[in-house]
Structure 1
Amino acid sequence: MGQPFPAVGYIHVPIDLLLRLNAAPVDLFFQSHSSSEPALYCRAGLTLDHAPLSNLVEVGICDIYVRMGDLQELGASLRDAIRAGGDEAPGADQFAALQLAAAAEIEQTVRLVDCSKFVALARDIGRDIVSFISSAKVLPSELFNIARHDYNTFVHVTNVASYSVILAERLGVSDVAELEQIATAAMLHDLGKRHIPLKILNKSTRLDPHERELIELHPTRGYVELCTRADLTHSQLMIVYQHHERIDGGGYPVGVLGTDIDPWAKMVAVVDVFDALTGKRPYRRPTTAANAIDFLTRNAGPHFDAEMVKCWVSALKQT
């Protein structure tokens, strides 16, 4: 049974994750059809009966809905429950809780006029991601399976940051501080999109030339906003500025050749496209991981760094 599309202002939470809680920290809602308004399932503070929730999963309903404004509190409660479970908590639950705990803050701070709060948040979440990946021992394919793939800012940036850390480790980066810098910059890579009208970002039909031009300005807008900060390195800034450049010079915003693209930007370019292809977008359905791998492989050399594509594909196929 397919899941209904959540009403505006709500977001889905996997029931399997809620089964780690004894009480509902926030109001929980049920939506039976895409056209229906969410109905209250359990009020905040009440005991969560696990049996009815498990029955929903058995009939193919895998999600409960919460208000966007409640995500931070729900995520914090889930992370507390997972930490209390110690090493027994599976990596899937740890990462899902990490994403939800970060969600509300990301969605709120990314649109502030001054980006300082979002930069600080990106650093904190980047540190959490590196810690999670280092301790949970989750394979890249497992991380792909547990990551969310819906169309929300917090989903894309946390996925790209996590994939970037994994790929960096596979490429030989072992210094924790360096990995945290990579994760932080990957969290910031699309910062310039906050200056693009949502009606363009969420457009379900083909972009016209003017809209395409605005989209292709986002690396420049993000770089200009961040380049005077003393707390970001050159390579971090290049992740923001160059993650859409191509090896053959056919990328944007400048069209530089591969020899002039920062290695970190080349790395993020690979996982950014992988996540974009496998995630839901207003204008298309997500593709499979296998199809995304095929796209990266076919374009390794002219578009993407061939060695980094090879490394990422090898990591995903590891069992």
Structure 2
Amino acid sequence: MLVSDLIAISVSTLSPSSAIGADLYCRVGQTDEAKLYRGADYPMKPQDLNKLKSRGVTKLFIEREGRDSYQNYLRDLAAGGGSENADNAQRSAALNEVVLDVLQGSFETNDQDNTVEAASDLGGLAASLVSREDFAAGDLFRVLNHDYATFTHSANVAMYAGMLARELGFTEEDIELVVAGGLLHDLGKLEIPDQILTKPGRLDEDEFAQIKRHPAEGFRQLARREDLTFAQLMMVYQHHERLDGGGYPVGSHDQEIHPWAKLCAVVDIYEAVTSQRPYRTPMSRSDACNLIRRESGKALDPEMVECWISIIHSTMPK
């Protein structure tokens, strides 16, 4: 069996005493060869996970035929099911894997119905996790990816939006809608050529004009749908507006911007500056907090900024 023929899965998603329903393989040394590590019906034990961790093993592998079983295992774990021994960190890792996998697939097919349905489904999954009493933001922060793919950015913004909504006192039902809106907020970017989105240098005037069209383009695609709320549509349309009227696409001012769009704007900027981009290295969390605080009251809602910064500080070492 060759590693290149298998699908990599994160060890952090494996819960003690809960089998994933697929054979697990491990890499043989530094080669492309893989050997059977654990049969499909044999769950991991805490000592197994500790041994893998001590050896620095972060990835195991499954056969492609086992993908659906693994996805079902992840969904159950993220939703609060699965093993009673699973902790918040494992549930957070499971949620992140599901969101990235599903969102990447739906974005690549560019099927709007499928994407909206997936966003709604994932919104419910995320809300069930972040609304748990034992949820800790730091566990989710640790497992998020930070590359510059549109689907990765959208996934992170959605998770951040859900955490901020919870801290602001939103109901679980509204958190579900906020997360789904966050997953869709950059849908309009799928119409922008990759060479612009991933350009390593500064964008010229024409290229930036194309970028600035994505909120209106996303709104145009989604506006007639009956399965999205007005608040979600405003997350798509207004997440680049500023309180002082200097944003886009139309230069709306404070009272004209929907509260959910204001929420999305805070976490969108934070995610953008702390993730890897072709043209710059990511900011530290501390510098990113300073940046959004400087924009507080000018571009961003002050209460939401301070609430988000308090979440970030809660995840940083004391």
The TM-score range, normalised by the shorter chain, is 0.7 to 0.9
TM-score (ref. length: structure 1): 0.81
* SS in structure 2 at match of 1:84: coil
Is 1:285 the equivalent of 2:278?
Answer: no
> Counterpart of 1:102?
99
- Stretch deviating more after TM superposition (111-120 or 302-311): 111-120
Letter in 2 for 1:286: P
> Counterpart of 2:182?
186
RMSD: 3.5
Letter in 2 for 1:260: E
**Shift in Å, 1:242:** 0.5
CA contact (8 A) 1:10 1:68 kept: yes
> Counterpart of 1:4?
none
User: Aligned in 2, Cα 1:9/1:237: closer, same or farther, shift over 3 Å?
Assistant: farther
Return 5+ residue gaps in structure 1 as ranges.
1-7
> Counterpart of 2:165?
168
1:27-66 equivalence runs, <5 A: 39-42=32-35, 46=39, 57-58=53-54, 60=56, 62-63=58-59
- Stretch deviating more after TM superposition (306-315 or 135-144): 135-144
Letter in 2 for 1:257: H
TM-score (ref. length: structure 2): 0.81
Letter in 2 for 1:183: V
1:59-208 equivalence runs, <5 A: 60=56, 62-63=58-59, 73-80=69-76, 83-86=81-84, 88-135=85-132, 137-174=134-171, 176-208=172-204
* SS in structure 2 at match of 1:110: helix
Per-residue CA deviations over 1:100-159 (Å, capped at 9, x if unaligned) read: 223333212224354011101100100111111112532333432233333444432232
Letter in 1 for 2:233: L
Return the alpha-carbon distance in structure 2 between the equivalents of residues 189 and 252 of structure 1. 14
- Stretch deviating more after TM superposition (195-204 or 140-149): 140-149
Per-residue CA deviations over 1:247-283 (Å, capped at 9, x if unaligned) read: 1222121222222111110001101111222222233
> Counterpart of 1:232?
228
User: Aligned in 2, Cα 1:59/1:151: closer, same or farther, shift over 3 Å?
Assistant: farther
- Stretch deviating more after TM superposition (109-118 or 248-257): 109-118
CA contact (8 A) 1:28 1:44 kept: yes
- Stretch deviating more after TM superposition (196-205 or 220-229): 196-205
Paired residue total: 307
User: Aligned in 2, Cα 1:134/1:80: closer, same or farther, shift over 3 Å?
Assistant: closer
* SS in structure 1 at match of 2:132: helix
Question: In percent, how many aligned pairs have the same letter?
Answer: 35
Return the alpha-carbon distance in structure 1 between the equivalents of residues 99 and 27 of structure 2. 23
1:217-296 equivalence runs, <5 A: 217-296=213-292
CA contact (8 A) 2:150 2:189 kept: no
* SS in structure 2 at match of 1:192: helix
Return the alpha-carbon distance in structure 1 between the equivalents of residues 231 and 273 of structure 2. 25
User: Aligned in 2, Cα 1:130/1:18: closer, same or farther, shift over 3 Å?
Assistant: closer
